[in-house]
Amino acid sequence: MIKNYIKTAYRTLLKNKGFTVLNVLGLSLGLASCLLIIFYVVDELSYDRYNTKADRISRVNEDLKLGENNVLYAVCMPPLAQALKNDFPYVEDAVRLKNGGSRHVKKGGVNILENKTVFADPSLFNVFTLPMINGSPATALTEPNSVVLTETTAKKYFNSTNVIGKTLTFDDNIFYKVSGVIRDIPRQSHFDFDFFISMSTLPDSRSTEWLRSDYNTYVLFKNAGDHKKLEAALPAFLNKYSGEQMQAQLKMSMAAFEKGGSFFRLNLTPLTDIHLKSNRTGELGPNGTTQYVYIFSAIALFILLIACVNFMNLSTARSANRAREVGVRKVLGSLRKHLIAQFLIESILVAFAATVIALTAAIALLPAFNQLSGKDIIVNSQTMVWLIPALLLIVLVVGALAGSYPAFYLSAFQPIAVLKGKLSAGFKGSGLRSFLVVLQFSISIFLIVGTLVIYNQLNYIQTKNLGYNRNEVLIVQNTFELGNRANVFKKEIKQLPGVVNATMTGFLPTSNWKNTAIFFKDAAFDQKKALFPQTWEVDEDYIKTLDMKMAVGRSFSSQMLTDSSGIIINESAAKFLGLKDPLNKPLYRSNGGKQDISNSKEYHIIGVVKDFNFSSLRDVISPMVLVLANNPGALSVRVNTKNLPVVLSQIKDKWKGLTPNIQIDFSFMDQDFDASYRAEQRVGTIFIVFTALAIIIACLGLFGLAAYAAEQRTKEIGIRKILGASIAAIAGMLSFDFLKLVLIAILISLPVGWFLMNKWLQEFAYRVNIQWWVLVLAGFTSIFIALITIGFQSIKAALSNPVNSLRSE
């Protein structure tokens, strides 16, 4: 019996090649897109799960509120990890990591700049699952000046992983002994380092200060539920240690501190939440956001929905043609259940074929998708473990849903009625089909709106006046390598023809250098009025080189000896401080610890710089101050592009002249800027690609339906033509039936799209408004696309000779 079903199914499908191809193609395309996005989402969701103890690990964070300033840190106090181990028996272990920044590591005679270095406690290998190839996990990081390398790094420096006991030279004069080699850090890890240096190397790691935070601290609990217990115990714990030091240094109890509206709290983030949910100051690396996971999941769902709707629409449309077959089969003795089985099997068979094609296509397209998404997803046998059952489920659900209309509806007909042709199963009659087309197009139009809004916002980010000019600025990184010759370097560079200006500092709007300090408006040191600004050390050429504008006052000057106590604030800081006329007003910088005149530095405001964006456009520009200091972090050079290659080689020569052993490392400010929005750019591209796919799939369906509708109405079209209808009138009539549905979809989706995309834009402090033309364009685009799709079929039908369509009599 089954064999007979499959045979009939196969033949019916073959007989209607056009429909079958359209149907299978649409579903495969949809499923393949959906699969790629699912890979992406699963990848995002499985960060840090490589740790076998992942569900027992949490990171300790600090939330600080000081007056109006609120900072969320991913780091904690130096002695915290040890104290947690001492005080709480359910804390099995704790580990501190401290970003080691950029270091030069010698290979042969050349110093190579390495950015992925970190200091780590010996307990690292007990908490995290970082399998060691060589060396002893228990002791690898106990001795000072020892370093554990990843496999790739070991091979890079020694061409071997058998390197225990070998020495690596850091920064030309520091020697670390290799004490272990671990496997490369899994791709899905929230941190990614190549060099793990023993924490004991760092004298500061033995600090007992409880009032500053700069160590990423992770706790391993004995049991998975213990983090709740610890979270409850943290306030008292903090009061015990920090409170004591606060009393001693600030002459203030924790209670009094909190009474002033400020606070100082600890909390926990489960390890597996870090990648998607944590975006604090002092993260070990850039994290993702849940937002994109939601957005992409929604797109995947949409595409799957559109593809399934297509499949159902086309299947049911075609099945109406088979009413006669049902009648004949029934007359010949077929039972209803046989017909149900036949239709279901046919539909599941098609769904299965589509799924196989989709899986193959998704795997084939994975490299391209990785490029697009900036990911490195691989599909292996582990993926298949969950993928195959999931796909089989989809096959069954989609196949059964699509097959259920013909199966249960058609099989119920009385054979006599069907054979007499009473049943026209008119196309117009199907409200369900109309509803599904409206649904498909609503989604497509919504995606068009989404794409346009995202595109506009990205464009806005690219072209917004940021308050400085990032074009034609070359940044020579790590000028601290030059030591006290850094200033010589700057002087020499400034003299080069083609160089407009140059400024020496690591604090740049496009760099990750950040530094906050505490300032008070008056000597009363009122906690509530404390200013907690970005405090950047710059030189007298900073404002001019970066093309920033002064609102009032002047920039620093080398001529003014008093400028070492001068300070420039930005407009936000002036507003925060409530200063109408800020020039020459004092500002007191707290030196931590006790807050009195003797222990703080007094500045006077010499100018107000116009606000410039120095963090993501997602955030409002926060208060910032600039102080005059020698900071040799980097040299930013404004150049004249006409002779860039020449200037560049001259700069390289100067660098070589000063330090022949260290390679110069430079970048361009506009590229650094673009890099910081790469995530957004990627999302934008992915959105566009998948929106296009969604629309194509919807159009495939519409194309099929239009063909079907035209076929159903050939007789009517013939009659109308004989009665004098013009081709245009008929094509118009056929098109309008669908266009009506598209119009309804527009009415539904434009308001929804407007609302949801506005919500997305709220994430940006600096954003575009959704222009009316975006909505109009989305509407017209959909009408245009639909018209092309339907128009072809309608005109074809309208052109046919009526004599042929009426010949069947």
Partner 1 sequence: MIKITNLEKFYRTEEVETIALNKLSIEVKTGEFVAIMGPSGCGKSTLLNILGMLDDPDEGSYVFNGIEVAHFTERKRADLRKHNIGFVFQSFNLIDELTVFENVELPLIYTGVPSAERVKRVEEVLDKMQIMHRRNHYPQQLSGGQQQRVAIARAVVNKPKLILADEPTGNLDSSNGNDVMELLTDLNEQGTTIIMVTHSEHDARYSHRIIRLLDGQSVVENIMV
Q: CA 322, CA 8: separation in Å to the nearest integer?
A: 12
Q: CA 162, CA 609: separation in Å to the nearest integer?
A: 56
801 contacts partner 1 (rule: CB under 8 A): yes
593 contacts partner 1 (rule: CB under 8 A): no
Q: CA 69, CA 670: separation in Å to the nearest integer?
A: 30
Candidate list 190, 329, 721, 767; residue touching partner 1; CB under 8 A: 721
Q: State how far Cα 441 lies from the chain centre.
A: 27
CB of 692 or CB of 719, closer to partner 1: 719
Give the residue carrying structure tokens 């434009």. 750
- Smallest CA-to-CA distance from 266 within 236, 299, 296 is with 236
DSSP designation for 623: P
3-state secondary structure of 81: helix
DSSP designation for 514: -
CB of 290 or CB of 804, closer to partner 1: 804
CB of 725 or CB of 787, closer to partner 1: 725
Q: State how far Cα 807 lies from the chain centre.
A: 62
Site string for partner 1, 363-402 (x = CB under 8 A): ----------------------------------------
The one segment of 92-100, 252-260, 568-576, 799-807 that binds partner 1 by CB under 8 A? 799-807
Smallest separation (angstroms) from partner 1 to the CB of 408 = 25
722 contacts partner 1 (rule: CB under 8 A): yes
**Phi and psi at residue 63, in whole multiples of 5°?**
-110, 125
Site string for partner 1, 407-426 (x = CB under 8 A): ---------------x-x-x
Smallest separation (angstroms) from partner 1 to the CB of 719 = 5
Smallest separation (angstroms) from partner 1 to the CB of 426 = 7
Please answer whether residues 25 and 184 qualify as being in contact, where contact means their C-beta atoms are separated by less than 8 angstroms. no
725 contacts partner 1 (rule: CB under 8 A): yes
Site string for partner 1, 729-758 (x = CB under 8 A): x-----------------------------
**Phi and psi at residue 609, in whole multiples of 5°?**
-90, 140
The one segment of 67-75, 380-388, 631-639, 797-805 that binds partner 1 by CB under 8 A? 797-805
What does 336-349 look like in DSSP terms, one character per residue? Answer: HHHHHHHHHHHHHH
Please answer whether residues 461 and 613 qualify as being in contact, where contact means their C-beta atoms are separated by less than 8 angstroms. no
CB of 649 or CB of 801, closer to partner 1: 801
CB of 4 or CB of 424, closer to partner 1: 424
| Alpha-carbon distance values, 181 to 64, 140, 184, 192, 202 (Å) | 38, 9, 9, 15, 21
Smallest separation (angstroms) from partner 1 to the CB of 418 = 15
Candidate list 17, 645, 724, 759; residue touching partner 1; CB under 8 A: 724
Please answer whether residues 514 and 281 qualify as being in contact, where contact means their C-beta atoms are separated by less than 8 angstroms. yes
Give the residue carrying structure tokens 């061409």. 159
Token representation of residue 571:
């407009």
The interface with partner 1 within residues 681-720 (CB under 8 A) comprises: 715-716, 718-720
CB of 388 or CB of 803, closer to partner 1: 803
The one segment of 242-250, 328-336, 364-372, 724-732 that binds partner 1 by CB under 8 A? 724-732
Smallest separation (angstroms) from partner 1 to the CB of 711 = 16
Smallest separation (angstroms) from partner 1 to the CB of 6 = 32
CB of 285 or CB of 426, closer to partner 1: 426
CB of 192 or CB of 716, closer to partner 1: 716
CB of 21 or CB of 729, closer to partner 1: 729
Residues 194, 196, 202, CA angle at the centre, nearest 5°?
140
Smallest separation (angstroms) from partner 1 to the CB of 40 = 47
Smallest separation (angstroms) from partner 1 to the CB of 422 = 8
431 contacts partner 1 (rule: CB under 8 A): no
Residues 6+ apart with CB under 8 A from 421: none
The interface with partner 1 within residues 294-353 (CB under 8 A) comprises: none
Smallest separation (angstroms) from partner 1 to the CB of 393 = 41
Give the residue carrying structure tokens 């004991």. 200
The one segment of 18-26, 302-310, 743-751, 795-803 that binds partner 1 by CB under 8 A? 795-803
- Smallest CA-to-CA distance from 738 within 439, 424, 313, 434 is with 434
Candidate list 515, 630, 726, 769; residue touching partner 1; CB under 8 A: 726
In the chain, how many H helices and how many E strands?
Answer: 25, 22
CB of 688 or CB of 806, closer to partner 1: 806
The interface with partner 1 within residues 25-44 (CB under 8 A) comprises: none
Query: In this structure, which amino acid lies at residue 456?
Result: N
Query: In this structure, which amino acid lies at residue 584?
Result: N
89 contacts partner 1 (rule: CB under 8 A): no
Q: CA 762, CA 764: separation in Å to the nearest integer?
A: 5
273 contacts partner 1 (rule: CB under 8 A): no
Candidate list 222, 428, 491, 514; residue touching partner 1; CB under 8 A: 428
3-state secondary structure of 585: coil
CB of 232 or CB of 723, closer to partner 1: 723
Smallest separation (angstroms) from partner 1 to the CB of 710 = 15
Strand 174-182 with 146-150, pairing: parallel
CB of 402 or CB of 425, closer to partner 1: 425
H or E, element range at 537:
strand 534-538
Smallest separation (angstroms) from partner 1 to the CB of 462 = 54
Smallest separation (angstroms) from partner 1 to the CB of 713 = 9
Smallest separation (angstroms) from partner 1 to the CB of 714 = 12
| Span between the terminal Cα atoms of the chain, in Å | 36
Site for partner 1 (CB under 8 A): how many residues?
A: 21
796 contacts partner 1 (rule: CB under 8 A): no
Q: CA 389, CA 395: separation in Å to the nearest integer?
A: 10
Q: CA 152, CA 150: separation in Å to the nearest integer?
A: 6
CB of 54 or CB of 806, closer to partner 1: 806
806 contacts partner 1 (rule: CB under 8 A): yes
279: alpha, beta or left? (left if phi > 0; alpha if psi -120 to 50): beta
Smallest separation (angstroms) from partner 1 to the CB of 720 = 7
CB of 645 or CB of 724, closer to partner 1: 724
- Smallest CA-to-CA distance from 479 within 635, 638, 329 is with 635
Q: CA 412, CA 142: separation in Å to the nearest integer?
A: 79
Site string for partner 1, 175-204 (x = CB under 8 A): ------------------------------
Q: CA 321, CA 675: separation in Å to the nearest integer?
A: 56
CB of 427 or CB of 507, closer to partner 1: 427
Q: CA 463, CA 105: separation in Å to the nearest integer?
A: 39
Smallest separation (angstroms) from partner 1 to the CB of 716 = 5
CB of 255 or CB of 723, closer to partner 1: 723
DSSP designation for 219: E
What does 331-396 look like in DSSP terms, one character per residue? Answer: HTT--HHHHHHHHHHHHHHHHHHHHHHHHHHHHHHHHHHHHHHT------HHHHHHHHHHHHHHHH
- Interface residue list for partner 1 (CB under 8 A): 422, 424, 426, 428, 715-716, 718-726, 729, 801-803, 806, 809
